[in-house]
Structure 1
Amino acid sequence: MMITVQDFTGVYAEQAFMQELRAIAETSKDVRWLNCTKIVGTDCYCDDDAIKEINELIDNAESNSKSECDSIIKNHDNFTNAPDIHFFDNGNYHYMSKLWTDRVQEPFTLIVFDHHPDMQPPRFGGILSCGGWVKEVLDNNKFVQNVIIIGVKDELVETVREELSQSGEANILAKVTFIKESELSTLSSFVSRLSSQHSLYISIDKDALSPTYTATNWDQGSLTLDALKESITVLAAGHKILGVDICGERAHDFEGNEHHTVQEADTLNNSLNRELVEFLKKIKEY
C-alpha cells in the first residue's frame, strides 16, 4: 500500500495522524507527502497550468519511490496488495480523482461516495472543477465503463438530469447509477448484487457521511461509517480495487458551526482518517 497526501490548504497541520504520515514520508517510500499549497489555480477549479504542475509533482514522487518499491516487492513474499490511498484535502479538490483515474490503464467502474453528484456541465470554458469532475471522467476517460454515485442528495440528482438534458448530453447518464440519500437503506443489497466484470476505483468525499463522523466544507449527508466500510468490504471481496481517494476535510478558515467547534471538527477528522487507513490496510485485491 502506498499513501499519498496532497496538502492544498494546510488543514492537515491540525491533525496528529496526518502529521504522523508527514513524518513517515521523510524516511519511508510507503508514504508520499506532496506540498501543493503554492500551486495557484486549484481552489474549486483547476486550470491547465495547475494540472500540469500537479501531474509533474506526482510523476516526480512516483519516480523517486519506484526503485525502492520494486525492491520491497522482490524481497517480501507477503507484500500487501491493499490498494493505494490518496488524500487530497477538502471537497474543493475532489477533481483530483479525475487526475488519478487518468493514470488507470485498464477498464474500471468508478464508485463515488458523495453528497453531491459532481456532474455539472462545464461553466468556464471546460475548466476542470470539483463540481463537474465525474462528467469529465465520463467524457474523456476511455477506460471508465460505469459510474456509481452513492449518498447523493435527492434533489441534486434531478437537477443534474435536467442540466444534462438541456445541454444535450443526457446520453452519458446511461453509464451512471445513483444511490440517492433516501435510498441508502438499500445500499448493502445493491452492493452485494453488483456484478461488474471490471476493476473498481473508489473515491470518497466524506461529506456523504453524517456530521456524527466528520466535519467537511460542504453540506453533509446521512451515510454511516459502518455502511461505508461494509460497502467497501463487500466490493473488495469480489473485485480488484485500483485505488481509494479520500477528501472532505473542513475548510481551512472554518470557525465552527451548529454541529462542531473547530477542535471537535479536527478531532473527528483526525480519528476518521486514521480509522479509514487502518481499515483499508486490511483490504486486499481480489
Structure 2
Amino acid sequence: MMITVQDFTGVYAEQPFMQELRTTAETSKDVRWLDCTKIVGTDCYCDDEAIKEINELIDNAESSSKSECNRIIENRDNSTNAPNIHFFDNGNYHYMSKLWTDRVQEPFTLIVFDHHPDMQPPRFGGILSCGGWVKEVLDNNKFIQSVIIIGVKDELVETVREELSQSGESSILDKVTFIRESELNTLSFQSSLSSFVSRLSSQHSLYISIDKDALSPVYAATNWDQGTLTLDALKDSITALTTGRKILGIDICGERAHDFEGDEHHTVQEADSLNSELNREFVEFLNNL
C-alpha cells in the first residue's frame, strides 16, 4: 500500500498521526509527502497552471519510487487488494480526485462519500472546482462506467437535477446513483446499496473518494456543513462494495479549515485530535480490506 499526502494548507501539522506519516516519508518509499502549500490557484478552484504544477509534483515523486501503475500490477500479482491511499487536505481540494482518476487506464466505477454532489456545471470558463469535479470526470474520463454518491444532502440532489436539466446535460445522470442523507441508516439505504452492488460484476474495478463531511460531526471536523453518516455505516458500505473487486485508489479529504477557531461541536484541539485518529483508523481499516 502506498500512502500519498498532499498538504495544501498546513493543517496536518496539528495531527499527530499525519506527522507520523511525514516522518515515515523521510525513510520509506511507501509514504510520500507532497508539499503543495506554495502552489497558487488551488483553493476551491484549480486553474490550468496549478494543475500542471500538481501533476509535475506527483510525477516527480513517482519517478523516485515505484509508479502507481506498477504497484497496482504488483498488488494484483500478490493477490492483495490493499489500495493506494491519497490524503489531500480539506474539502476545498476534493477536485484532486479528478486529477487522480485521470491516471486510471481501465474501466472503473467511482464511489463517492460526500454531503454534496460535487456536480455543479462550471461557472468560470470550465475551471476545475471542488463543487464540480464529479461532473468533470463524467464529461471527460473515457474509462468512467458509473458513479454512486452516498450521503448527499437531499435538497442538493434536486438542485443538481434542475441545473443539469437547464443546461441540457441531464443525460449524464443516467450514470449516477444518489443515496440521499435521508436514506442513511434505514432499510432504504441497505436496499439501494445492495441494488448497486448487484449491478457490479466481480471483475469491476472501483475508485473510492471520501469527503469526511458526509460523516456526522461526532466522527470528524470538516470545513463544510456535515451530514449524518456514521463511521460504521461508511466502513460497512466500503466492505460491501469492494469485496472481491479491485480497488484502484482511495482518496480522503475533509480536514478542518486552516483558520478554524472552534465551533459548537469542537474546539481546535478537539478537531485536530478527532481528525488525526480518524485518519489513522481509515488507514488501518483500508489496509485490511
Q: Which band: TM-score by shorter chain?
A: over 0.9
Shift of residue 109 of structure 1?
0.6
AA at the equivalent of 1:9 = T
AA at the equivalent of 1:196 = L
* Alignment partner of 1:202 is 2:208: yes
State whether residues 112 and 150 of structure 1, in contact with CA within 8 Å, keep that contact through their aligned partners in structure 2: yes
After TM superposition, the structure 1 = structure 2 runs for residues 265-280 of structure 1, keeping only pairs within 5 Å, are 265-280=271-286
Question: Quick one: distance in 1 between partners of 2:160 and 2:267?
Answer: 33
- In the alignment, which residue of structure 1 is the partner of 2:180? 180
The one of 258, 282, 286 equivalent to 1:252 is 258
Cα distance 1:174–1:79, how it changes in 2: closer, same or farther (>3 A)? Answer: closer
User: SS at the partner of 2:278?
Assistant: helix
State whether residues 188 and 227 of structure 1, in contact with CA within 8 Å, keep that contact through their aligned partners in structure 2: no
- In the alignment, which residue of structure 2 is the partner of 1:224? 230
- In the alignment, which residue of structure 2 is the partner of 1:41? 41
Shift of residue 192 of structure 1?
3.2
AA at the equivalent of 1:132 = G
Cα distance 1:240–1:79, how it changes in 2: closer, same or farther (>3 A)? Answer: closer
User: SS at the partner of 1:238?
Assistant: coil
- In the alignment, which residue of structure 2 is the partner of 1:143? 143
With structure 1 as the length reference, what TM-score do the two structures score?
Answer: 0.94
Shift of residue 112 of structure 1?
0.3
- In the alignment, which residue of structure 1 is the partner of 2:127? 127
Deviates more, 1:80-89 or 1:140-149: 80-89
- In the alignment, which residue of structure 2 is the partner of 1:169? 169
Deviates more, 1:196-205 or 1:44-53: 196-205
Question: Quick one: distance in 1 between partners of 2:183 and 2:232?
Answer: 16
Identity between Structure 1 and Structure 2 (%): 84
**What's the CA shift string for 1:32-84, capped at 9, x where partnerless?**
000000000000000000000000000111111128x979x98xx96853010
Moved beyond 6 Å, runs of 4+: none
Cα distance 1:166–1:70, how it changes in 2: closer, same or farther (>3 A)? Answer: closer
Question: Quick one: distance in 2 between partners of 1:4 and 1:43?
Answer: 19
Question: Quick one: distance in 2 between partners of 1:274 and 1:2?
Answer: 14
- In the alignment, which residue of structure 1 is the partner of 2:157? 157
Structure 2 unpaired stretches of 5+: none
With structure 2 as the length reference, what TM-score do the two structures score?
Answer: 0.93
- In the alignment, which residue of structure 2 is the partner of 1:115? 115
Shift of residue 178 of structure 1?
0.4
State whether residues 81 and 247 of structure 2, in contact with CA within 8 Å, keep that contact through their aligned partners in structure 1: no
- In the alignment, which residue of structure 2 is the partner of 1:264? 270
AA at the equivalent of 1:275 = E
AA at the equivalent of 1:89 = D
User: SS at the partner of 2:150?
Assistant: strand
What is the root-mean-square deviation in Å for CA atoms of aligned residues?
A: 1.7
State whether residues 152 and 181 of structure 2, in contact with CA within 8 Å, keep that contact through their aligned partners in structure 1: yes
